[in-house]
Amino acid sequence: MFLPIASKPPRISMGFLSAAHAMTLSASSFLSRVTKHAVIGPLACLLFCSTSTLAQEKVQISVDASKPGAKIDRNIFGQFAEHLGQGVYEGIWVGPDSKIANTRGIRNDVVSALKAIKVPNIRWPGGCFADEYHWRKAIGPQRQVTLNPNWGGVIEPNTFGTHEFLDFIEQIGADAYISVNVGSGTPQEAAEWLEYLTTPQQTTLAKERAANGHTAPYKIAYLGIGNESWDCGGNMTPEYYLSQLKIYSRFVRNFNPAQQDKQQMLKIAVGPGGGEARWTEWTEHVMKAWQNHQWSWDMNGLSMHNYTVVRWPPAFASVGFGETEYSQILKSTLDMEGLIDKHSAIMDRYDPQKKIALIVDEWGAWYASLPGSHPGFLAQQNSIRDAILAALNLNIFVRHADRVRGANIAQMINVLQAMILTDKDKMVLTPTYHVFKMYVPFQDASFLPVTFNAGSYVHGDITLPRIDAIAAKDATGKLWLEVTNVDPNNSVEIETSLNGINAKSARGETLTAPKVDSVNTFEAPNTVTTKPISVKVEAGKVTFKLEPKSVTVISVEQ
């Protein structure tokens, strides 16, 4: 049956704190990473006024290239593709007989756009969908037609199954992150799926795989053991889930000879979906068990889900909003930092060596469905606000690179905070897509410490850090700096000093838009798009100007 999304329980409501407290925590933990913060209290400003401290001054950013930190795992730029709405059917799969240009049924335009952002991995088939997915129904010439009860109760044709997904990720050059069905499946079903996928030996399942077109074993980089098992995945207690985790971890094996050592498949356990006691207890329970685990089970990562929604059900519009909603959403998104800190602190107690990765495998903005769209399809537009939101979250992940070694934005195409929107043969790249493209150089680069005076952007009773920045050094020695200007009204002059490198030349590009709710549409696909900016290098300092509400990436050659 169709479960209207509005009936979803308030999973993160206002998160783990009151609205006022949440802002203090997120802002203070954010600000503890900058040298000083010019405070302007909300009382100094009338309701709905907007202002920016230090608007006219040059902001100094210092990057210490002599102290490289953790590697920024490229997998934090991962994607999530669930069988939901038009995410898979139409977004990826049009079938080999379609008039839309395709390779074995997979859209060519989408593949080439995704190749350009170097998608590291794709999580599939869900989401809530994964806990009702039975892989055998979607292989071979005779597909079973089933239902998708989570997302609109629509027909699931199963024409996009295991082989089609693996063909798709091979076409774009990404790794597979497969979530197995713990909620309504069995360990045997999942174990047989992995044998089917990965064994090189001539078992009956391997022969079936070959008969279906793939003789060689597949590589499966990640195995998700359940999804939100505390909610749509079966409403389990942490104790019950842990008993399932041990069984699945033991028996769902990867037999690919190439994955027995360094390339081993990483097993990701279900983790928290917020900061409230039920989720800190969940993290505590799983991590404590892992610390004392016996040889017969193991895990490599703990998943975390956190949507920017402000309150359930999602009510904010994705287009046609003003500065108040712009600032409210961006304030809410900064809760990500407090949430990661909270769960990382628990993980640190049981895993001080940080062997277990925190994988934020569902994140992004969740708005009200577009008027006229199916409410179960989670269709929304994507504006410059989402681009800024994406940059702020990616920067949070980067600052926690030692623990956050994977993340998957929800969701890749046509669903929630998408990279790509499609309508039949048309395709448009969203502002969020452009951010992911701008961040490609940060994939697997080394984190560099950055200090700066963030200043404040104030709108009504909301105060946010005005700018955010991260830096990294890539394998060739090139330095990359990202600076986000949250302020939608004022530009910011930046002067960067670099310790440990002798800057010779620099260049940059920026993403901005005319209005806080500017979007790209099929009719006007380039309203929000990147453009080069002028960057000066003088006496080793790099200076440039940030436009209001912008995401900017600078590269510096030494």
Q: Which of 267, 273, 272, 293 is nearest to 284 (CA)?
A: 272
What are the residues binding ligand AHR (CB under 6 A)? Answer: 82, 126-128, 227-228, 232, 362, 410-411, 416
Q: Which is nearer to ligand AHR, 63 or 232 (CB)?
A: 232
- Using DSSP's 3-state secondary structure scheme, residue 246 falls into helix
Q: Is 547 a catalytic residue?
A: no
CB of 235 to ligand AHR, least distance (A): 13
Question: Is the alpha carbon torsion for 337, 340, 346, 347 positive or negative?
Answer: negative
Q: Which residue has the tokens 């499946």?
A: 185
Q: Between residues 11 and 163, which has the closer beta carbon with respect to ligand AHR?
A: 11
| Residues contacting residue 6 through CB under 8 Å, at least 6 positions apart | 313, 375
Give the 3-state secondary structure of residue 177.
strand
Annotated catalytic residue 281: no
Q: Give least dist CB 286 to ligand AHR, A.
A: 17
Minimum Å gap between C-beta 314 and ligand AHR is 11
Q: Is 532 helix (H, G, I), strand (E, B) or coil?
A: strand
User: Could you please report the per-residue DSSP string of 62-124?
Assistant: EEETTS--SB--GGGGEEE--SSTTTTBTTTB--TT-SS-EETTEEHHHHHHHHHTT--EEEE
Alpha carbons 18 and 489: distance in angstroms, whole number: 28
Beta bridge partners of 486: none
Catalytic pick from 90, 284, 323, 362? Answer: 362
Question: CA 373, CA 449: separation in Å to the nearest integer?
Answer: 44
Residue 80 beta carbon to ligand AHR: minimum distance, rounded to whole angstroms? 7
Single out the catalytic residue among 90, 132, 228, 325: 228
Containing H/E element for 398? helix 384-399
Query: To the nearest whole angstrom, how small is the minimum distance from the Cβ of residue 344 to ligand AHR?
Result: 21
| Three-state secondary-structure class, residue 384 | helix
Question: What is the rounded CA–CA span in Å between residue 367 and residue 39?
Answer: 31
Q: Which is nearer to ligand AHR, 105 or 126 (CB)?
A: 126
Give 111's strand partners: none
When the beta carbons of 269 and 535 are compared against ligand AHR, the nearer one is 269
92/232 with CB nearer ligand AHR: 232
CB nearer ligand AHR, residue 135 or residue 544: 135
- The enclosing H or E element of 432 equals helix 431-438
CA distance 390 to 411: 12
For ligand AHR, the nearest residue by Cβ is 127
* Smallest distance, ligand AHR to C-beta of residue 302, A: 15
**Cβ distance 512 to 469 under 8 Å?**
no
- Which CB sits closer to ligand AHR, 150 or 484? 150
Smallest distance from the beta carbon of 554 to ligand AHR, in angstroms? 33
Q: Are 308 and 365 in contact (CB under 8 A)?
A: yes
Catalytic site positions:
228, 362
